[in-house]
Structure 1
């Protein structure tokens, strides 16, 4: 009981932050689903973006709780510096994580910009390795294509923002024209 007497303001503020957490997660889920429904975006991509929003909200709540419970900025900075040092020592792992983060960010951008959809035939304009294929799946890290020969091609999301992409008419359908 002595704990609540000493930390009444912090306890009330924590309760309010938790309530805001619950409300913001529900609201963000509803808003993303409403946006996805209005633009006819597939369920897998919608769930992925919802997870990203929930992660962002959780990080903001942790920061708010740190501030509420009085962790001094100097301690936060020294903690961040320690983490940054560990990450800096593990440089190879950081490069791999950067690639993963880049693909996830690109996946979110592809979700909101929605330049192409499953079933579209695209051409990736790469002078060394041009690719033409039909989109089978769009995931968090990569897009799965199938070319005319039936080969499955896995293409990283971040390369869609580095290479030009053309959406082609579906030329896989062989149509005969009869006079």
Structure 2
């Protein structure tokens, strides 16, 4: 599923490796918990241990919530966002302010846009998924498909 998403969305292979590593980590942790239960570790003891670990991790991530938010947003962009590399987009910031550019990079923490006038703009992933985006490249594809159907 990850390889299919990589090829469809033209995302860097390094990003796919990162997503695979995260999924492997989650599956490994689930496997360890299952093995511990099969070996007879009491559920109450396991729950106390997991609760303690999650509390420590939660406190650590609370200090770094924006990093966690960007990583989560990166996974959402990877699987569900309609914007791909090299798409020309317009980000509607407000009534009178828009950002127009071409998607140059979709990373773990930032999306980089190349603009005609100001070079590069980087947006944190958690803000990128919250913005209203008009995909100019996608509109051109739809229009070209409609023109082919008419002819």
- Do these two structures clear the TM 0.5 threshold for a shared fold by scoring above it? yes
- 8 Å contact 2:111–2:124 — kept in the other structure? yes
Q: Equivalent residue for 2:120?
A: 152
Cα RMSD of the aligned pairs, angstroms, is 2.5
| Bigger mean CA offset, 131-140 vs 73-82 | 73-82
| Secondary structure, aligned partner of 2:44 | helix
CA distance in 1 between partners of 2:32 and 2:64 (Å): 22
Deviation at 1:137, TM superposition (A): 0.4
In 2, Cα distance between the equivalents of 1:105 and 1:132?
Answer: 25
Give 1:106's match in structure 2, choosing from 61, 73, 92.
73
Of the three residues 106, 120, 140, the one matched with 2:108 is 140
Q: Give the number of the structure with larger relative contact order, counting CA–CA contacts within 8 Å between residues 6 or more apart.
A: 2
Paired with 2:57 and 2:16, the residues of 1 have a C-alpha distance of 31
Distance in 2, matches of 1:168 and 1:99, equals 29
Alpha-carbon distance in structure 2 between the residues aligned to 1:69 and 1:129: 61
* Distance in structure 2 (CA, Å) of the matches to 1:129 and 1:69: 61
Gaps of 5+ in 1: 1-30, 170-179
Tell whether 2:47 aligns with 1:77.
yes
Correspondence 1:131 to 2:99: yes
Aligned to 2:10: 41
Higher strand share: 2
Give the gaps of 5 or more residues in structure 2. 138-151
Q: Displacement of 1:62 after TM fit?
A: 1.8
Whole-angstrom distance in 2 between the partners of 1:137 and 1:156: 12
What's the TM-score once normalised by structure 1's chain length?
Answer: 0.62
1:1-179 alignment to 2 at 5 Å? Answer: 31-37=1-7, 39=8, 41-42=10-11, 43-87=13-57, 90=59, 93-127=60-94, 130-168=98-136
**TM-score normalized by the length of structure 2:** 0.72
Computing the radius of gyration over CA atoms, which structure comes out larger, 1 or 2? 1
